[in-house]
Amino acid sequence: MKLTSILFYAFEALAALSSIALIFARNVFHGALLLITCLLALAGIYILAFAEFVAITQILVYAGGILVVIIFGIMLTTKLSGKPLMIEHAYRFSGSLAGILFFALFVYFISIETFDSGPSPANALKEIRTIGIALMTEFVLPFEVAGILLLVALIGAAIIASSTNTKKM
Amino acid sequence: MFPIEHFLYLAALLFSVGLVVVITKKNMIMVLLGIELMLNASNLNLVAFNQLYPEGINGQMFALFVIIVAVCEAAVGLAIVIQVYHYYHTSVPGEVNELSD
């Protein structure tokens, strides 16, 4: 068994276990840390699937951006009373039923389908330069639209979070 | 080059777990975490199928744009969560049951 196989299945097990532990997490802060563990394991899987740029973007965006934003959100929505924020669970039966049924459906359809491998798996390694050139030529319209979307989301989030004139009670 | 079924089973598990988290958790931030998990399950599928057909990079590009949309969703969603918390003094989605005062 090669080292890459061991790493791949270790990352898969880490992602699966941390995501399953997220179901049972009652502390929101622990939930955020479990999600980041799962997403970093996914970044490792992306590297082993020859998608280095996506992996680096995943690490930068999630560990550097979304984790900080989520922890700020957790701290701003607790009373800071010293005790950790424990949450309740609702709809346990229907939620787990929906999850199990979705998972069974996915597993059934994946197992009956056969996926032929590509014609040339040898040159699977893409340079990051290829992605950069594609972003500036073939995907330039989605790239610019994504930039506008980020700007709009930035302004919208700042305006929504800063208007504190409507208070009840 | 790993078999693509292993990617797909992991993605199916992540999507199902995200769905369960969205349904069962009584906290809006945990609901956002579940949505992030579902988006990442779709990303894993895109990267896996791009590995299966390595002559193009469309899957990786689409995964990058999904990450961008996930960032926007997290930022705006958390801003809305903070405003709802200021207004209703709760972060439980079931207790937000009126549209205006």
Task: Give the model confidence (pLDDT) of B2-57 as tens digits.
Answer: 888 999 999 999 999 999 999 998 888 899 999 999 999 999 999 999 888 877 88
CB contacts of A110 in chain B (<8 Å) are 5, 8-9, 12
For A49, the token pair is: 């699937």
Q: How far apart are CA A3 and CA A124, in angstroms?
A: 19
DSSP track, A97-140 = HHHHHHHHHHHHHHHH---PPPS--TT-PPPHHHHHHHHHTTTH
Q: Is the ipTM of this complex over 0.85?
A: yes
Judge if A14 and A66 occupy the same domain.
yes
Of B2, B9, B17, the CB nearest to A19: B17
pLDDT value for A19? 94
Q: In this complex, do B79 and A161 lie within 8 Å of one another by their Cβ atoms? A: yes
Number of helices and strands in chain A (H, E): 7, 0
CATH among 3.40.50.620, 1.10.3720.10, 2.30.30.90, 1.10.287.3510 for B26-95: 1.10.287.3510
3-state secondary structure at position A88: coil
Give every residue of chain A whose pLDDT is below 50, as ranges. Answer: none
pLDDT digit string, tens, across residues B70-86: 999 999 999 988 888 88
A149 CB-contact burial (10 Å; exposed 0-12 / middle 13-18 / buried 19+): middle
Residue A5: inside a domain: yes
Give the distance from residue A83's alpha carbon to the nearest chain B alpha carbon, in angstroms. 16
pLDDT value for A112? 92
HSE of A21, CA atoms in CB hemisphere, 13 A: 18
Mutation for A interface: B7, B49, B61, most A CBs within 10 A: B61
Of B1, B19, B79, the CB nearest to A99: B19
Domain residue ranges in chain B: 26-95
Domain that holds residue A136: 126-163
Q: State the pLDDT confidence band at B62, using cuts at 50, 70 and 90.
A: very high
Of A102, A117, A131, the CB nearest to B60: A131
pLDDT digit string, tens, across residues A93-131: 999 999 999 999 999 999 998 887 666 555 556 678 888
pTM for this structure? 0.89
Judge if A60 and A103 occupy the same domain.
yes
Q: How far apart are CA B12 and CA B49, in angstroms?
A: 14
Q: How far apart are CA B49 and CA A47, in angstroms?
A: 14
Contact between B24 and A31 (Cβ < 8 Å): no
Q: In this complex, do B85 and A76 lie within 8 Å of one another by their Cβ atoms? A: yes
CB contacts of B88 in chain A (<8 Å) are 168
